[in-house]
Structure 1
Amino acid sequence: MSVALNTSIPARILRVNHGGEHGAISIYSAQILAARLRAPDLLPFLREALEHERTHRRRFRELMPTREAKPCRMMWIWGVGGGVLGLIAGLMGREAILACTEAVETTVHRHLDDQIRWAEGRDDGLRRTIADIQREEVAHIDWAIQGRRGRGFRWLAALIEHLTDGLIWISTRGDSRRLAQELAVA
């Protein structure tokens, strides 16, 4: 692997993570809107998770200048996609909101694991930031799993995981898949 490629990986990680956090903000914002009617008991957690995602986005953005990274050029996809996904899940009710949260955060967790492995010994500041953020994302997964009353909506969770991976792929123009492959061999 060339030096130029190695130095571009942190920028690529930050670009996709920053975009993903933007999408998560849209998901939670839309879920909050719908949960007021469909699942008011979830509002305290959804509001807390929304604040976490805003903090995550800010933290990734703050790391960008020192790693020559720029925000994703297709941020609107994250915003629209996340908003639509969050609203649909929210309108479907409590179990769908929880299934959506579990599916999105599980997909994100998988990507963050790869990134942490790559950053170990290469970019400790980036690794620490990702690991800190991942801890909160895991708490979101745990909360969603514990809050679910059944295992219904498995079809929805599977669909959302694929949509999340697809949204990541589209917004990065395929770079996320190439990055995952490079991280696996790096």
Structure 2
Amino acid sequence: MKSSKSDGGLKYILLAISLATPGYVNSGHGFFNSFEGVPWLPEPGLMPDQFVYFIDEAIEKFQTSSYVDSLVIKKKYLTFAEEKLAEGVALLKDSNTNHHVRIENSYAHYLTILSQSFSENQSTDETNYQQYCADRLLQHMYILSIEVIDSDRSAVNHFLTLNEIASENYRKLIKHLSRDFIDSHFFKKEEVKWSWEIALESD
């Protein structure tokens, strides 16, 4: 069925109706609940300002080069990306921006090789995991929009940089996924967008 110009307006009407229902006043900024109950970021381990941090990086490099199984290595990429994001958020909430270029580069590195590791001729399990990764990056963007509220205003640009890294790789991940899957993210993407708008307006 062909779509018409009115389809976009209809989607916004449906979103407005959804937001008006009682169940929507729950999480985050008090308006959205699609992300209610999502796993938050892991507790950060070693931090970049610790002397032995280079050992942690060496272990990560070894682990991402020692696995042959394609799906296992993809899971490692996402795990390490989430660890870097958790480290970055923890530092920013302490108003520590000294190591953030290092964090941003590491987060971008793992997400980039993750998004590039998928192909059109992959197994069903890999496609399912690709969809999971896309879901998770939307969650990263939402989490950042919540965490930035309790952070010093001087850290906002760093939060925005992390958000853009997640957003860029999200776009890469969904590029060759099904239209049905992409359409299923419409409301979630709107919630992320609005969550960020509210976070930035709270300054």
Short-chain TM bin? 0.3 to 0.5
Q: Give the TM-score of the pair, scaled to structure 2.
A: 0.36
The higher-RCO structure (CA 8 Å, 6+ apart) is 1
**Structure with the largest fraction of helix:** 1
Larger Rg: 2
Q: Give the TM-score of the pair, scaled to structure 1.
A: 0.39
